[in-house]
């Protein structure tokens, strides 16, 4: 595999969408991507997200976040839908892109399932690990940037933005457990997950993200 997968993670409103857009612009406009093309196997940049990274995944995203009707979604159904979304995204988009040399910026990946369905919904961790393994077919991120912000701050930001999907509307307790999940994942995988203090201004957060990405690009080039 020639490309690299960079994942952005964190609770609602932590600033992933904002920082992915800034990172994309920076990589394209600073000349860094052009430099990478000549000095490494990276050929292009793509931005994607889970759920919803392909056309079929978009339909799954709609079902997950904005279901119609009154029927409550079962926790295992939710887990299986996230796994279905990931399976389609990995096989139909991520792996082909990485094989072509893409530098991929992805909004959420496997850690979200562990944090939300594992810690949040309290579903069995072994089951989640098995499903993640099946859905990814072994693909892991090269770098995960965890935008760490207090749940209350993130939810307030998300609320001000004015959306509010099915999961955003879950209890504060649920979101605290999700945050605990990300915290424990970062402690368990210090090589892969870099914690970014996302409670600061957009500009300060972005500076840390630039530093982390540059550091890892250098490491990958040297490898």
Q: Would you say 63 or 65 has its CB closer to ligand Z5A? A: 65
Cβ at position 130, least distance to ligand Z5A in Å: 14
Cβ at position 82, least distance to ligand Z5A in Å: 4
Q: Would you say 11 or 42 has its CB closer to ligand Z5A? A: 11
Residue 108 touching ligand Z5A (CB under 6 A): yes
Interface of this chain with ligand Z5A, residues 171 to 200, rule: CB under 6 A: none
Residue 113 touching ligand Z5A (CB under 6 A): yes
Residue 88 touching ligand Z5A (CB under 6 A): no
Triad 47, 52, 53: Cα angle to 5°: 35
Measured CA distances, 181 to 110, 134, 138, 176, 222 (Å): 12, 21, 21, 9, 32
Interface of this chain with ligand Z5A, residues 2 to 21, rule: CB under 6 A: 10, 12-18
Q: Would you say 55 or 222 has its CB closer to ligand Z5A? A: 55
Q: Would you say 38 or 201 has its CB closer to ligand Z5A? A: 201
**Interacting residue ranges for ligand Z5A, rule: CB under 6 A:** 10, 12-18, 49-51, 65, 82, 108, 112-113, 116-117, 157-158, 160-161, 165, 167-168, 201-202, 205
């Amino acid at each position: 595999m020639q490309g690299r997968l960079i994942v952005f993670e964190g609770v609602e409103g932590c600033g992933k969408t904002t920082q992915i857009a800034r990172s994309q612009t920076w990589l394209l406009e600073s000349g860094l991507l052009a430099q990478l093309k000549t000095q490494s196997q990276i050929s292009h940049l793509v931005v994607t997200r889970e759920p919803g990274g392909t056309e079929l995944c978009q339909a799954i995203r709609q079902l997950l976040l904005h279901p119609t009707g009154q029927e409550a979604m079962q926790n295992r159904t939710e887990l299986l839908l996230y796994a279905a979304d990931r399976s389609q995204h990995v096989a139909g988009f991520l792996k082909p892109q990485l094989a072509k040399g893409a530098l991929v910026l992805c909004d959420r990946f496997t850690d979200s399932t562990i944090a939300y369905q594992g810690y949040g919904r309290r579903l069995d961790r072994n089951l989640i690990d098995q499903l993640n393994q099946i859905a990814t077919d072994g693909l892991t991120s090269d770098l995960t940037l965890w935008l760490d912000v207090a749940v209350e701050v993130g939810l307030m930001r998300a609320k001000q933005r004015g959306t509010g999907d099915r999961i955003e509307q879950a209890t504060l307790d649920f979101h605290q457990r999700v945050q605990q999940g990300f915290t424990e994942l970062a402690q368990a995988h210090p090589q892969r997950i870099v914690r970014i203090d996302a409670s600061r201004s957009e500009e300060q957060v972005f500076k840390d993200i630039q530093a982390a990405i540059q550091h890892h690009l250098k490491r990958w080039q040297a490898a």
